[in-house]
């Protein structure tokens, strides 16, 4: 398993991080998107049907369903505090995986665990 330090080093190599203010919507349930997100700094609330189901923190990835064919977002993501994010499209993700193959397993593990938690809540 990757340590948060390794994951953060992958995120830090990505260009053009974007800052979201506390309370700002990152994406909404149902929106199309083709990028995954990595948290460089901060916290993000994950909401389903308007209810917070999880809060994720620095070093975590989210929005990875696009890598397995999910076309529209299945939840809403809102910055809980001022948060700095990086975006990885498929090309950037594949490059990160070439540099650090274990990153792909970490991302898939994160996706699988989040999906399992969300299914239990619904």
- pLDDT, residue 3, reads 57
Using a 10 angstrom Cβ sphere, with 0-12 exposed, 13-18 middle and 19 or more buried, the burial of residue 81 is middle
- Crossing angle of helices 102-121 and 90-99, rounded to 10°: 120
pTM of the full predicted structure?
Answer: 0.84
> Which residues constitute the domain of residue 115?
4-121
What total of structural domains would you count in the chain? 1
| Residues 13-49: tens digit of each pLDDT | 888 899 999 999 999 999 988 888 999 999 999 998 8
Mean pLDDT of 83-87: 94
Element (H, E) at 56: strand 51-57
CATH number at residue 99: 2.60.120.10
1 pLDDT tier (thresholds 50, 70, 90) = very low
> Rounded CA gap, 28 and 7, in Å?
25
| Residues 58-77: tens digit of each pLDDT | 988 898 887 777 788 888 99
User: What is the DSSP annotation of 72-122?
Assistant: B-SSEEEESSSEEEEEE-HHHHHHHHHH-THHHHHHHHHHHHHHHHHHHH-
């Amino acid at each position: 398993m990757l340590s948060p330090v390794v994951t953060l080093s992958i995120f830090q190599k990505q260009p053009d991080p974007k800052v979201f203010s506390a309370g700002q919507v990152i994406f909404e349930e149902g929106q199309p998107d083709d990028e995954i997100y990595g948290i460089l700094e901060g916290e993000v609330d994950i909401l389903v049907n308007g209810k917070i189901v999880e809060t994720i923190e620095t070093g975590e990835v989210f929005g990875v369903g696009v890598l397995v064919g999910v076309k529209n977002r299945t939840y809403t993501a809102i910055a809980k505090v001022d948060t700095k994010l990086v975006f990885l499209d498929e090309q950037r993700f594949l490059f990160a995986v070439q540099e650090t193959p274990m990153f792909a397993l970490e991302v898939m593990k994160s996706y699988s665990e989040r999906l399992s938690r969300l299914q239990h809540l619904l």
